[in-house]
Structure 1
Amino acid sequence: MDSEHVRSLLRVYFIMGSVNCRRPAAEVLAEAIAGGVTIFQFREKGPGALTGEAKLNLARELQGICRSHSVPFIVNDDIDLAIAIDADGVHVGQDDEPAQALREQLGSRKIIGVSAHTPEEVRQAIADGADYLGIGPVYPTASKDDARPVQGTILIGNLRKEGVSIPLVGIGGITADNASPVLAAGADGISVISAIAGADHPEAAAAAFARLASR
């Protein structure tokens, strides 16, 4: 996957599952895309998350919305689901399958993202063939019960100073009010869960991020 194309997709990266929404997920996603979301990750995890056929059906519904707006649909950590619905890619954490194994299963045209929290994890993910890295958590977050220690924008900034050119997206507690330092440090985009999924007006929330990311 061409890195410059991936870089352009990461500007406003929306991550969501049914447990993150107060309204039907399909409504929230459609409004968020209208506001300027550039890539979407289906993350169906946590207490009350859907499983089995219900999860598959929701994935297909949300994928259909993404496809109708030419927004890439990424699946979090479920390679079987990604293959079953021919998703545009997969995002994995450090405890999941390495990018190299995913690439062998998905092929060269799919997007593979990896969460990385240290320089060592970054180097390994790059060596394994990741297309982009999710770096964080930048700020405190309540969206993930397994979040690592907060590290601010230090790692993003250091990676760029060292000449690491792989597309990077910041994640963790990012809001429209604190997103600018993440982008200034060298992130190509910002990924958010609750700041859009939990907003009263997802379209307006997404639009605020889109304005920041296009500066």
Structure 2
Amino acid sequence: MAQRYPDRFYPVVDTLDWVRRLAALGVGTVQLRAKDLGPEAALAIVRDALAITRGTPTRVVVNDYWEAAIAAGAEHVHLGQEDLAEADVAAIRKAGLTLGLSTHDHEELETALRHDPDYVALGPIYPTTLKAMRFAPQGLARIGEWKRRLGRIPLVAIGGITLERGPGVFAAGADTIAVVSDVTQHPDPDARVRAWLDLARS
């Protein structure tokens, strides 16, 4: 049976140390979201992340830097709506990369669906302190609405989701939960990751 993509537990991190740590813990899908890098630095970090995960079950999803992803031989890319507007989606597809897209409202969902994404992310589900959001929390009902619209396209829920909230998010219809601060800001990240992996397998 083929490994699902993305995995039900989908951490988003910003450093190679986190990629290495999560790969060692057996995480299947990790998004590398390192902001404000120039082309050379972006290419270097993507190549290094792929080198770290080579020979492991961990797949690296490159956030934003689609040109670096193509050049480095990555297999997965994720774009926000602003990045999508400037990206060469045909080039991404020609290179054989999967494409995940962020959405926050109905208009963005329509935009995403026009690009035949491999998954769609919806957020923030809950209030998040990680970054200032233009959009109000979506809530669990919106997850069900989005999932009915997406059908077989995987739905990734992101934003303010803790392990304790995870079962409710899955029950609302999310296929996958993307997690940032609940891992990276947890006092025992390794134990938290193992608990998330247990939940994802349940």
Q: Report TM bin, short chain.
A: 0.7 to 0.9
1:164-212 CA distance string (max 9 Å, x none):
3210111011111111111111111111112222334332221111111
SS at match of 1:30: helix
* 1:15 and 2:12 matched: yes
Would you say how many aligned residue pairs link Structure 1 and Structure 2?
Answer: 202
1:106-144 CA distance string (max 9 Å, x none):
427311000012233223312211110111101111223
AA matched with 1:116: T
RMSD: 2.6
AA matched with 1:114: L
* 1:211 and 2:198 matched: yes
**Consecutive aligned runs of 4 or more in structure 1 exceeding 6 Å deviation:** none
Show structure 2 runs of 5+ residues with no match.
Answer: none
CA distance in 1 between counterparts of 2:134 and 2:105 reads 14
Q: In the TM superposition, what is the alpha-carbon distance from 1:68 to its structure 2 partner?
A: 2.7
Contact 1:137 1:147 survives alignment (8 Å): no
**Counterpart selection for 2:20 from 30, 33, 36:** 30
AA matched with 1:9: P
Contact 1:141 1:173 survives alignment (8 Å): yes
**Counterpart selection for 2:182 from 186, 190, 195:** 195
Contact 1:39 1:71 survives alignment (8 Å): yes
CA distance in 1 between counterparts of 2:103 and 2:140 reads 13
The structure with higher relative contact order (CA 8 Å, sep 6+) is: 1
CA distance in 1 between counterparts of 2:47 and 2:188 reads 24
CA distance in 1 between counterparts of 2:92 and 2:39 reads 21
Task: Provide the residue aligned with 1:140 in structure 2.
Answer: 127
Aligned-residue identity in percent: 34
CA distance in 1 between counterparts of 2:9 and 2:171 reads 15
Q: In the TM superposition, what is the alpha-carbon distance from 1:16 to its structure 2 partner?
A: 1.1
Contact 1:116 1:136 survives alignment (8 Å): yes
